[in-house]
Structure 1
Amino acid sequence: MIKSFLKYTFSTLLAAALLYWAIDKSDLRWNDIYLTFQQANYTWVGISLLIALISHIFRALRWEQLLGAMHYYPGTTRTLSAVLIGYFANFLVPRMGEVSRCGSLQKTADIPFEKSFGTVITERIVDLLGLVLLVGLTFLVEWKPIQQFLFPNFKLPSALTLAGLASGAIAILALLWVKKGALLDRWGYFTTNTGIGKKIQGWVLGISSIQEVSNPGKFIIYSIAIWIAYFANTYALFLAFPVSESLGLSAALTVLVMGTFGMATPTQGGIGAYHSLVASALGFYLLPLKEATLLATFFHGTQMALILLLGGLSFLLTLFLPKKHAHVNE
């Protein structure tokens, strides 16, 4: 109990400190935020919120596939409600979303908590892989503004240096291939006898469980569609403001990646961290810090309002949904 209280207190203080730092360094005033909300094109804001809802539906459909691999079929209404409750919980207590969504399905669909939680871990691993790919794509297409902002004196290595690095990498791969038997034995010992090894092995098994879903191709499509919806949501918010409507698709990709890192920090709903990282990302495109922080505040605020509204409604819905026995024997 004391540990949970301390963790919650730490995350709250961290969120408050990061938010204060982001607002203070950009010299924002309440009137600036008020004027920003007045200037927004709410047609595009509405479109962005609709796209955000679609992304949550895709996530629910993807989760249904993982649950279906264990022969649990709660239905989209219960699954989507659980997803939204999970997002809602993350705005109250960091990292409570996963626990809350699984608890919701246990209540409404009689799915054992530990089984649904295993599928959530699989989801998180897949999301992490997607984020890694997005980071690589962002550096590939937006290297110039990122390099000018973060590494202004950076120069690419010479061709000879690159050739040497490539040769070294090939030599290391060849050595690993020759020693693969001994390495596999050590890997087996590591994953069997150490706590970290067991956790890593669990991640590997989580990824491999995707093969058990009824339609792996559909699972992959849903995973891609989630990120596409996140990207489209970000770009729609760009179009809501004159100062950002000309930044382009690649800038939206950069903001999406930085915002995702912000939301992953151990604060309620990424508060503070999201504002700082997204404002910094907009700075890559020479947007003044004040305007960048105002946009970050608006982006986060609209998404938070949607989650609190839909999550609250989902929680109320679960109070009236009849309990369903979702397990179906093979």
Structure 2
Amino acid sequence: MKKYVNIFGFILVIGFLVLAFYKVKLTDVIDGLKIFNPVYIFPIIALTVLYFVIRAYRWGLIFRPNPVPSFKSLFSGIMIGVMVNNLVPAKIGEVSRAFILGRKENTGISLTFGTIIVERIFDFLALFFCFFAVFVFSPTEREFLNNASMLWKTAFFITLSGFIILIVLIVAFKLKTNMFVNVVERIIGYFSKSFASKVDNIFNSFAAGLKCLDSFNNSCKIFATSVIQWALMGFTTWIALISFNIYISIFSASFLMVLVVLGCALPPSPGGIGPTQFISVLVLNYYGVNGGEAMGFSIVQNFLTFAVGTILGIYFLFKESMKFSEIIKFSEEKR
């Protein structure tokens, strides 16, 4: 199975890169890269590290009211997980974080998995919030939707529907956990008891993670930090665009960021390579940016984000005296 996932991930990356480079000349990309102002490297890196710091802080909030691991453990877990995601397909870096915290803090695997699931849900909720906030405050993006093809409009309304359905399901699960689990388990168990058992474990982990919502104050903090971290990434994208003399509004930069992040949520694509380039070129073309400059921007920003996550992850991997093979083995077993 691992072999096929890796092959699919490779095909996905190549496919998106082919689509991204379609009608974009290599000479234009080289010219676009020459525009980059290296003065902006430090602020982009600093803002990216700050984003990871906020992520680690938020992860601690999600552990409440259970014992919260130290910030050092949370941050190292985040960075090693990002490094694994950058180097290995299928997003197994998320699973590896359970191994890291279990090793360092003796945190229960089930609880840690639950917090990671809840973290991902808050990520999507915050991204959807940012997505719709852009449409409320920026007429340019509203015009984008009005002039968009039926495919884009369909994607927009699917996103809106997904946002609403996700909130309803979370509330229903929180209020009627046992009933929800029993119904789903019976339906799935009719087809496969072994798979039903796995689903039961996932739901139990999710229920453990949802305890963070018992406190309204804590729930608000989690959502606020989620919005802040993605707003920060929108700002970072805006700065990266300026480094290429691409001047669009911060709302437009945030719109681009949201679409790139959602596109990179495709599991088999390591480091977001492929989808990042394709979506960046597609969206920036709408704002009047030529393909070479758009591609140059996407390559540099993708590289800097990739480098920060990978280098910090490798640093903490050695600092914690962990083996990469150990983490991968655990992650493959628990997937």
What TM-score comes out, normalization by structure 2 length? 0.75
Report what 1:209 is aligned to.
211
Question: Are 1:317 and 2:319 an aligned pair?
Answer: yes
Matched, 1:238 2:272: no
Q: Which one-letter code corresponds to 1:265 in the other structure? A: L
Letter of the structure 1 residue corresponding to residue 241 of structure 2 = F
1:282 Cα offset (Å)? 0.8
CA distance in 1, matches of 2:216, 2:51: 21
Aligned counterparts of 1:286 and 1:203: Cα–Cα separation in 2: 46
* Structure 1 position 213, deviation (Å): 5.8
Amino acid at match of 1:17: G
Q: Which residue of 1 aligns with 2:85?
A: 90
* 3-state secondary structure, aligned to 2:321: helix
**Aligned-pair CA distance for 1:27:** 2.1
Matched-pair identity in %: 21
Q: The residue matched to 1:83 in structure 2 has which SS?
A: helix
Does residue 108 of the first structure (1) align with residue 104 of the second (2)? yes
Q: 1:52 to 1:8 in 2, by over 3 A?
A: same
Partner deviation per Cα, 1:226-279 (whole Å, 9 max, x = no partner): 11211111111122121x1x2111210221111112221231122111110121
Shift of 1:218: 2.9
Alpha-carbon distance in 1 for matches of 2:318, 2:13: 28
Aligned pairs (5 A) from 1:109-188: 109-140=105-136, 141=138, 142-150=141-149
| Other-structure match for 1:263 | 264
> 1:286 maps to which residue?
288
Deviations 1:153-189, CA, capped at 9 Å, x for gaps? x9xxxxxxxxxxxxxxxxxxxxxxxxxxxxx9x9787
Q: Residues 264 and 188 (structure 1 numbering): CA distance in 2 closer, same or farther, change over 3 Å? A: closer
Do the aligned residues in 1 keep the contact of 2:81 with 2:93 (CA within 8 Å)? yes
Matches of 1:11 and 1:89, distance apart in 2? 14
Deviation at 1:145, TM superposition (A): 2.8
**8 Å contact from structure 1 (residues 279, 295) kept in 2:** no
Deviation at 1:144, TM superposition (A): 0.6
| Counterpart position of 1:227 | 230
The answer to whether the 8 A contact 2:16-2:274 is kept is yes
Aligned to 1:20: 18
Larger radius of gyration: 1
For residue 15 of structure 1, what is the amino acid of its counterpart? V
Secondary structure, counterpart of 1:261 in structure 2: helix
Residue of structure 2 in register with 1:298 after alignment: 300
In structure 2, what is the Cα distance between the partners aligned to 1:34 and 1:143? 33
1:190 to 174, 178, 183: 183
Q: Which protein is richer in helix relative to its size?
A: 2
Q: Post-superposition shift, 1:191? A: 3.7
Within 2, Cα distance between the matches of 1:118 and 1:45? 36
Q: Which amino acid aligns with 1:130?
A: A
1:78 to 73, 76, 82: 73
- Paired with 2:249 and 2:216, the residues of 1 have a C-alpha distance of 38
CA distance 1:110–1:17, shift in 2 (3 Å): same
CA distance in structure 2 between the aligned counterparts of 1:295 and 1:130, rounded to whole angstroms: 25
Structure 1 residue runs of 5 or longer lacking an equivalent are 155-183, 321-330
Gaps of 5+ in 2: 154-175, 189-195, 323-335
Tell me whether 273-282 or 194-203 shows the greater mean CA deviation: 194-203
Q: 1:241 to 1:122 in 2, by over 3 A?
A: same
What residue identity is the alignment partner of 2:55? R
Q: Label 1:64 to 1:288 Cα distance change in 2 as closer, same or farther (>3 A).
A: same
Report Cα offsets for 1:45-87 as digits up to 9, x if no partner: 32122111111111101111222422242x1111101101111
RMSD: 3.1
Whether 1:218 and 2:224 are equivalent positions in the alignment is no
> Which AA in structure 2 matches 1:121?
I
Give yes or no for contact 2:131–2:258 (8 Å, CA) kept in 1. yes
